Amino acid sequence: MALDKHWNFIRIPKTKNTTLTTWNAADEHVIQCVSEKETLHQTTAIFHDRFGYLSCFLADQNPDIVIYLKSQQTAISKNLALNKININPNFITPFVHSVEKKWEVVILHIPKSLDLFDLYLQIIFRFSDSNVVVYCAFMTRHFTKSMLKMAEFYFTDVKQSLTFKKSRILTLCGKKENIAEKNLIRTIFYNKTYLQYSGVFSKNQIDFATRFLLENVVVEKHEKKILDWGCGNGIIGIFLNEKYPDTEVYYVDDNLLATESVHLNSREARVFWEYDINNISGPTFDLIVSNPPFHFEHENDISISLDFFEKSFHYLTNKGRLIVVANKHINYLTHLKNIFPISEILAQNSKFAIYQCRFTRPC
């Protein structure tokens, strides 16, 4: 667990933004904190280790590594191998039913989504030892009082550390008893209720960009196979499939909480838990629809979306169409015109634009 060891890390998915890193001071801070407490030989779990920095440092403790992104799983595996750490990582998901031994130490990098943080705390509460100590790392600029309220709901003793490189640690002890399980999140759109797990984009209401998309997209007669990329709870694909019942819809998302949410809303849905469209083994599509992400956590980065645009070119039929909704200020049209022969604005309002891309214009 030597802090001065030289490590090499890569980001998965890859980014063209060279200013983005694979860890920050909060990750360094929590490793330093755990090292000083001499937590070796205690059963350990790691939460929200995006690229593997924490997993590499704590590999000797054979930790349970809780993942929810397919890209996260890939990144951790690749970075363990890159740093010649020869272990078979013990990945578990938020849907785990049991653990081999209850956790005595938990290291957690607090995510941007406080709903996801709350879900993590629920899992920790369920599978940890009564004397567990939880170290929650965060950058001070991201602190909110809600973090404390959530921690205090599950633990009696919540302490905040001094600042280290503009980061802090919340240390949680004294696990409470008899905490009730929390319900699924419900969203209503056009009198239909959609369910989703905590940590999935857009809570309790459909986001305005997706609403604008669904109010303006018309599926053409020849468009029978549809891909909903970055599907979230599946609302785009399900809505289109119900409106056009002769279509066959596929759903893809990097977030396992999202893909499992799709199953809550459509039992027969064809769902892929993937971050890279190239990993999908299936047909080409007549229509690909997406409300793509332009940020990850606290980072703004359109690299993932641009990569998707480039790859979607190869997954469309000759008459295929790509439809994307996004904030107008991102100006995806400039990028799309470099990929598709025909790229244009299908609809727009004061905040959002819907882009339509084709190989040829319909007859």
pLDDT value of position 301 = 86
Residues 251-256: contacts with CB within 8 Å, 24+ apart?
Answer: 251/227, 252/227, 252/228, 252/277, 252/280, 253/229, 254/69, 254/70, 254/71, 254/230, 255/68, 255/69, 255/199, 255/200, 255/201, 256/67, 256/68, 256/69, 256/70, 256/93, 256/94, 256/95
pLDDT value of position 2 = 46
Residues 200 and 266 in one domain: yes
Q: Dump pLDDT digits (tens) for 246-261.
A: 999 999 999 999 999 9
H/E element, 78: helix 70-82
Residues 162 and 209 in one domain: no
* Tally of domains within the chain: 2
pLDDT value of position 115 = 94
For residue 326, report the phi and psi dihedrals to the nearest 5 degrees.
-160, 165
Q: What's the whole-number average pLDDT of the chain?
A: 93
Q: Dump pLDDT digits (tens) for 289-311.
A: 999 988 778 888 889 899 999 99
pLDDT value of position 264 = 96
> Region 64-90: what's the mean pLDDT?
96
Residues 114 and 146 in one domain: yes
Among 175, 195, 213, residue at a domain's last position: 175
What single letter denotes the amino acid at residue 83? Answer: N
Does residue 342 belong to any structural domain of this protein?
A: yes
Residues 245 and 311 in one domain: yes
Q: Dump pLDDT digits (tens) for 323-359.
A: 999 999 998 999 999 999 999 999 999 999 999 999 9
pLDDT value of position 40 = 66
Residues 48 and 109 in one domain: yes
Radius of gyration, alpha carbons of the chain: 22
pLDDT value of position 101 = 95
Residues 194 and 282 in one domain: yes
> Region 134-161: what's the mean pLDDT?
97
Residues 261 and 234 in one domain: yes
> Region 74-98: what's the mean pLDDT?
96
* Boundaries of domain holding 111: 25-175
